[in-house]
Amino acid sequence: MKLSNNLLIEKLNQAINSYNEDTKEEEIALIKNGNISNEDLEKISSLYIDISDIQEDEKETFFEELSRVLENMQLSSFFLYSETENEPMKVELTFLLKFNKGLKNLQISDIDLSNVNADVFNKLENLKVLMLGNNNINDFTMLSQLSENLAIDVGNNPMNNVSINDVVKEINKHHGKMAFNEHPYFNSVVFALEDKKINLSNIEIPENKMNEIFQFINDYGIQKTLKIEDYIKMNENQGNPTRVIISGTKDISTEFLEDHPEIVEVQIIDEENHGWYGQEEPYTREEFLQIRQKIDEIKEKIELPDVSDEDREKKIFMQVYNVLGKMIDYNHYAVTEEGEKDDALKITCRNLKDGLLKGKAVCAGYADILKNVLGEFGIKANYIGRDPEDVEKYAELIGYTEKAELDEFLGFEAMSVEEFAKMYGYKDDAGHAWNSVELDGKKYLCDLTWDADNIKLGRFPLEYCCPSLEEFNSTGSGELTHDMFVTLDEGEISEFSNEDQLRFLGFSEEEIERKLHPSIEDFVKMLEQLEAQQKMESVTVSIASEIKASDFDGIEKAFDDKEKEEQIDYDK
């Protein structure tokens, strides 16, 4: 066979090279001077042709010669496409009639097929996959006439006047093997039929299709996902089970949830400030109700300053920070080797659940809770998560080894560097989380995880509550610090003075003076508390890796039985 079209020759030579790389038989010679035998053409099983660069004056010869070539080939796969976004080409379609009956996979893109009959494809008895795209197919009737044995991708064809019922009928006819990848609205229907769930939060629903989509949801018992603002805007009545997406707990009240029993899941996704990925796992209705009710209890403890108070947000922030610091303990078990095997715990100790409902969390949980509770008061807080450097190397660099020797000399139980890293819940792949918060027009940094113990002990002022950026990142003997984590530019950071921090907490001038300039008696008492804390930390580290999840079940049951017997609530 003699060929003259250079584009077709180039694509055939590419197919020949692919054949020669894979074959164990005699190789095919590349086309030279336009000559190729019918015998060689029959050996090629796959042909990919990108027509992006085809020139107008060569279209006619290209498709004429393509028809002759296809007539002599035994293809299993043929792909004709373009990577440009031009209008579909109007060309002679004779080549569509030249495929051998053994063809299994066919892609036709960027060719006008508006006048093609379904029989052209149905006559290909072994055709399994048909991929279309930019073919100017406006009439769904042609697609509905295609063989039920075909798996079809409709591509970005207009699909005018197509109803959801039409789509559902075709999906069922093709046993689910139908894709509308360029039509997210219809593609969501495909997945909904299989999963019984549909996410309406990330697809644009045409206004004239709104009633239709809800009828589909009702007819097929589909659980829908909606952003809370869309849910309210649609004035959704009590009906099909629904998952609502909110940006924070402030978006949905306890009363609203109780009035809408069809809301079965609540998912928190803050598009402006994504936290740790597990925090976007949905909560069940029961879980979120409990969380919501706990936040309501916390809000009742906050004394709201007058709206004219120029430090209003700072005073609210300090109260929230103080309440949460007292309420939540660090979950050392969650970061032990045994605890990290618990996939559920890995999430619940880092989202709102465990910290609010059980009083136990790790740093990500502290940061997530602080962000959401502050949001309830209209205070914007961001979650900051950072990857760590080498914790053990850092501990050695800041002189922890020497500190351990000093502890041992003073009678404290010294920790190894490995125990030191584990005590704070960090490994080389664990990271740390804290918050930035905007108060009365200025931005601050805070780390509730590292301040929580001192809050419980009444040790004010707090070291990591809105200090200067330099102080926030500064190193400290025997302490992990923020500058050991990968840092990003957080913008201009403001700070509280120690006096301001205490004043915002409601301390009197006399109490502030005593906190900032303690007497000898106060200082001795502080040293005694520090010694007790260090001993407790050492004990915690020494036993944490030995505790198993099952141990807590027995301990909790014993407390529960005792509480029922004596009608007393114990602080577990």
Which of 215, 204, 173, 202 has its CA nearest to residue 190? 173
Q: Which helix or strand (DSSP H or E) is residue 571 part of? A: none
Tell me what pLDDT residue 504 has: 96
Contact, 121 vs 142, CB < 8 A?
Answer: no
Residue 121 main-chain phi, psi, to 5 deg: -90, -35
Which of 358, 370, 352 has its CA nearest to residue 331? 358
For residues 99-135, b (16+ Cβ closer than 10 Å) or e, as one string?
A: bbeebebbbbbbbbbeebeeeebeebeebeebbbbbb
Contact, 254 vs 247, CB < 8 A?
Answer: no
Task: Give dist(CA 371, CA 380) in Å, integer.
Answer: 7
Which of 443, 336, 331, 457 has its CA nearest to residue 380? 443
Task: Give dist(CA 297, CA 292) in Å, integer.
Answer: 9
Tell me what pLDDT residue 418 has: 59
Q: Which residues pair with 284 in a beta bridge?
A: 265
Task: Give dist(CA 426, CA 404) in Å, integer.
Answer: 18
Cβ atoms < 10 Å from Cβ of 315: 20
Task: Give dist(CA 366, CA 330) in Å, integer.
Answer: 9
> Structure tokens of 371?
């962000």
Task: Give dist(CA 417, CA 394) in Å, integer.
Answer: 10
Residue 110 main-chain phi, psi, to 5 deg: 65, 20
Cis peptide before 461 (omega within 30 of 0): yes
Task: Give dist(CA 335, CA 541) in Å, integer.
Answer: 11
- The domain spans of the chain are 1-161, 278-562
> Residue 330's Cα: distance from chain center in Å?
25
Tell me what pLDDT residue 478 has: 41
Pairing mode, strands 432-439 and 263-268:
unpaired
- Under-50 pLDDT residues of the chain: 238, 394, 397-398, 424-429, 475-478
Task: Give dist(CA 526, CA 541) in Å, integer.
Answer: 23
Query: CB-based contacts of 439: which residues, under 8 Å, 6+ apart?
Result: 313, 314, 317, 379, 466
Pairing mode, strands 442-446 and 129-133:
unpaired
> Residue 167's Cα: distance from chain center in Å?
30
Sign of the CA dihedral with 350 first, then 353, 356, and 359 last: negative
Sign of the CA dihedral with 325 first, then 571, 531, and 477 last: negative
DSSP code of residue 40: H
The DSSP string of 381-450 is EEEEEE-B--HHHHHHHTTHHHHHHHHHHTTPPP--HHHHHHHTT--TTT-EEEEEEEETTEEEEE-HHH
Which of 37, 94, 48, 99 has its CA nearest to residue 71? 99
Question: Cα dist. 197→178, 237, 333 in Å?
Answer: 18, 18, 36
Task: Give dist(CA 430, CA 349) in Å, integer.
Answer: 13
Task: Give dist(CA 82, CA 175) in Å, integer.
Answer: 29
Q: What is the pTM of this model?
A: 0.70
| Three-state secondary structure string covering 309-355 | CCCHHHHHHHHHHHHHHHHCEECCHHHCCCHHHCHHHHHHCCCHHHH
Q: Which residues pair with 48 in a beta bridge?
A: 79
The three-point CA angle 351-356-357 to 5° equals 105
Helix orientation angle between 448-457 and 312-327, rounded to the nearest 10 degrees: 80
DSSP code of residue 234: T
Q: What is the dihedral of CA 476, 481, 484, 485, to 10 degrees?
A: -170
The single residue listed with the structure tokens 């923020």 is 482
